[in-house]
Amino acid sequence: MYKLNQLLDTLEVEQLDKYLFRGTSLPLALPRVYGGQVLAQAINAAARTIESDRQPHSMHAYFLRPGDAKRPIIFDVDPIRDGGSFNTRRVVAKQNGAAIFNCSISFQKVEQGLEHQMDLPAGTPMPDELESDQLRTERIYAGHADKSAPFIFPLSMVDIRSTQPQHPIDPEPAEPEHGFWFRFNGKLADNDNIHRTLLTYISDYKLMTTGLRPHRVPGLMEKIQGASLDHSMWFHNAVRVDEWIYYHLDSPKSGGSRAFNRGSFYSHDGQLLASTAQEGLIRVRD
């Protein structure tokens, strides 16, 4: 079981030169590098080329090729612009000389301004009312040794508690809207870069599969070729990922072998912290 300090070591990429970084992958039970890892490593690298009074406010990324978890990833940061209020960085992640991912990240000097927000969805159960995803999955699969359990982050690293979980073995079609509470297991330093890096890491989790929830019919899931295509993220407020955060997800539309998915991060007291949007490939193979 991986622990939080192992994840932090993985996401804190090694600086080779002023704008050049190298990362490794935490081995997970996935066929390729987890997309959230590359997102988090990219924002970690870019933030370390910016003055500390600037914070990321938006990120727009494309997943270009599957990453190989056994090989290092090179992150090449391009300092496109350093302005009076905003800084822009372009990051390209490469393996074997080919780009597997690229993104643009914009940073802003902290300012005050007009404020409003959409509230946390009414009726959302609190985390102390919910069972851990890992414990629930272990309980369900205890009597099904012949079945392969779905990928879940280990409880030793992060506690995830879904509000509308589908049965992992025999799921019924459901509305394309759900969410989960999460809290990384360990007390973290008061370092904004660490918390935003971990928020970015978790932002790819369950986002793409939101568009599959209405289509979970027998025999179909085995035919799905799925992958995250792009990923955008907007940071609204400071976050602490060692405290409970709710990630609300919905999928307004799927079509053309793609599903469009959105997400909103809320603090335990209902403050909107960040937003996400992503298209995922959901191609049905014959």
Give the DSSP letter string of the chain.
Answer: ---HHHHHHHHSPEEEETTEEEE-----SSSS--HHHHHHHHHHHHHTTS-TTEEEEEEEEEE-S---TTS-EEEEEEEEEE-SSEEEEEEEEEETTEEEEEEEEEEEE--------PPPPTTPPPGGGS--HHHHHHHHHTT-TTSPPPP---TTTEEEEESSPPPSSSPPP--SEEEEEEEESSPPPS-HHHHHHHHHHHTTTTTGGGGGGGG--TTTGGGEEEEE-EEEEEE-S---TTS-EEEEEEEEEEETTEEEEEEEEEETT--EEEEEEEEEEEEEP-
pLDDT of amino acid 284: 86
pLDDT of amino acid 177: 96
The terminus-to-terminus CA distance of the chain in angstroms comes to 37
% of the chain surpassing 90 pLDDT: 78
Contact in structure between 6 and 171 (CB atoms under 8 Å) = no
Q: Which residues are catalytic?
A: 204, 228, 278
What are the pLDDT digits (tens) for 232-243? Answer: 999 999 999 999
Which of the residue ranges 117-126, 161-170, 270-279 would you say has the lowest mean pLDDT?
Answer: 161-170
Nearest to 41 by CA among 3, 92, 79: 92
Residue 75 has pLDDT above 70, yes or no: yes
Contact in structure between 248 and 124 (CB atoms under 8 Å) = yes
pLDDT of amino acid 183: 97
pLDDT of amino acid 219: 60
Residue 85 has pLDDT above 90, yes or no: yes
Residue 282 has pLDDT above 80, yes or no: yes
Which of the residue ranges 63-67, 167-171, 255-259 would you say has the lowest mean pLDDT?
Answer: 167-171
The tokens describing 239, both together, are 């976050």
pLDDT of amino acid 170: 80
What are the pLDDT digits (tens) for 150-194? Answer: 788 989 999 999 999 988 788 889 999 999 999 999 889 999 999
Helix pair angle (4-11, 192-202), 10° resolution: 100
Pairing of strands 158-162, 230-235: unpaired
pLDDT of amino acid 37: 97
Residue 92 has pLDDT above 90, yes or no: yes
Residue 19 has pLDDT above 90, yes or no: yes
Summarize the confidence of residues 249-260 as an average pLDDT.
Answer: 95
pLDDT of amino acid 286: 78
Summarize the confidence of residues 22-40 as an average pLDDT.
Answer: 93
CA distance 162 to 179: 6
Average pLDDT, the chain: 93
pLDDT of amino acid 164: 94
1 pLDDT tier (thresholds 50, 70, 90): low
